[in-house]
């Protein structure tokens, strides 16, 4: 379902005590938010974050999972394991995982299907490289990525996913896509989903150097439903300003 969502992605940052402090600081600052607030934290912070966020409107997600239920996959975590401790969301196919950990459109699709089958809500990431952008391939790349990531899903599944459009060249670089470009790309992703599933009622976020200064401009565009925030989600004050844009 289409709604306003502001999600933080802590990446490989924050120790458990820092996570607890963060939630305690953030909760009063966002308690009246009309947007859904999500923080996606490292595995080792999940349990502490969930406990601390219990009586708040802060939702908690993981940043990755394996698609198999269980087995000899040293170092991996399954959807059942996340679900068992009440994790609600999981980021799937972040560009850093595609780039450094060999994730492909096929493994992204397996993970999305497994997450949905186990009752987790995937936050599915797509985005183009600088080279793809400069050679005019953005729309082709992101619509192909989304079609492959969502392959074999049902129309009902679409209401349980969030999509994040994150141009790779804008992640952690301080460079943000213009609000018009981001809106245009997200509109194309929405059209692709409509073409494949007959509905475009899906929440689609923008990610890439979102900060308090650019949040309002981005999030008030017609097709942008909110943000997936990296660096600026590590400080409660800063993140709350984005949430309350
Ligand atoms: P930054 O906000 O640090 O650019 O990171 C974006 C991101 O990758 C969120 O998933």
The tens digit of pLDDT for each residue in 45-98 reads 999 999 999 999 999 999 999 999 999 999 999 999 999 999 999 999 999 999
The closest-lying atom of ligand 1 relative to the alpha carbon of residue 96 is: 8
Predicted local distance difference test score (pLDDT) of residue 174: 86
Name the average pLDDT for the chain. 97
Which residues is 192 bridged to in the sheet? none
Residue 32 is part of a domain; what is its CATH number?
Answer: 3.20.20.70
Share of the chain above pLDDT 90, in %: 97
Beta strands at 89-92 and 58-62: parallel, antiparallel or unpaired: parallel
Residue among 36, 103, 166, 192 flagged as catalytic: 166
**pLDDT tens digits along 164-177:** 999 999 998 888 88
Beta strands in the chain (DSSP E): 5-9, 36-40, 58-62, 89-92, 121-126, 162-165, 203-207, 226-229
pTM over 0.85: yes
pLDDT of residue 1: 85
At 148, list the tokens. 């492959």
Ligand 1 pocket, residue 9 CB under 6 Å: yes
Q: What confidence tens digit (pLDDT) does each residue in 181-206 have?
A: 999 999 999 999 999 999 999 999 99
Active site residue 166: yes
Report the pLDDT value the prediction gives residue 144, as an integer from 0 to 100: 98
Name 141's Cβ contacts closer than 8 Å, sequence gap at least 6. 126, 128, 129, 132
Percent of the chain at pLDDT exceeding 70: 100
The answer to whether the CB of 42 is under 6 A from ligand 1 is no
Would you state the pLDDT for residue 237?
A: 98
Measured from the CB, is residue 229 less than 6 Å from ligand 1? Answer: yes
Q: Which domain holds residue 64?
A: 5-243
Hey, which of 11, 95, 122, 213 would you mutate to test ligand 1's pocket, going by the most ligand atoms within 8 Å of its Cβ? 11
Q: Quick check: is 94 catalytic?
A: yes
- Of 36, 66, 94, 192, which is the active-site residue? 94
What's the pLDDT at 176?
A: 85
Mean pLDDT on 14-36: 98
Count up the domains in the chain and report the number: 1
Residues 148-168: tens digit of each pLDDT: 999 999 999 999 999 999 999
Residue 109 has pLDDT above 90, yes or no: yes
Query: Closest residue (by CA) to atom 2 of ligand 1?
Result: 230
Residue 110 pLDDT exceeds 90 = yes
């Amino acid at each position: 379902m289409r709604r306003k969502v502001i999600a933080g992605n802590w990446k490989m940052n924050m120790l458990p005590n820092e996570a607890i402090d963060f939630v305690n600081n953030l909760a009063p600052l966002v308690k009246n938010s009309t947007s859904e607030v999500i923080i996606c934290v490292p595995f080792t912070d999940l349990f502490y974050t969930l406990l601390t966020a219990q009586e708040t409107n802060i939702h908690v997600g993981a940043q990755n999972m394996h698609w198999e239920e269980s087995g000899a996959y040293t170092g991996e975590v399954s959807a059942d394991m996340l679900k068992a401790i009440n994790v609600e969301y999981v980021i799937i196919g972040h560009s850093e995982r595609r780039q450094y950990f060999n994730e492909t459109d096929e493994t992204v699709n397996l993970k999305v299907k497994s997450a949905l089958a186990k009752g987790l809500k995937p936050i599915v990431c797509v985005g183009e490289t600088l080279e793809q952008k400069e050679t005019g391939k953005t729309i082709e790349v992101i619509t192909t990525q989304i079609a492959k990531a969502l392959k074999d899903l049902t129309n009902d599944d679409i209401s349980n996913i969030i999509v994040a459009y994150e141009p790779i060249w804008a992640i952690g670089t301080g460079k943000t896509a213009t609000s018009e470009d981001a809106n245009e790309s997200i509109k194309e992703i929405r059209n692709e989903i409509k073409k494949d599933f007959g509905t475009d009622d899906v929440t689609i976020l923008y990610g890439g150097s979102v900060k308090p200064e650019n949040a309002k401009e981005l999030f008030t565009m017609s097709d942008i439903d909110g943000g997936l925030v990296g660096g600026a989600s590590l400080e409660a004050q800063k993140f709350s300003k984005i949430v309350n844009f």
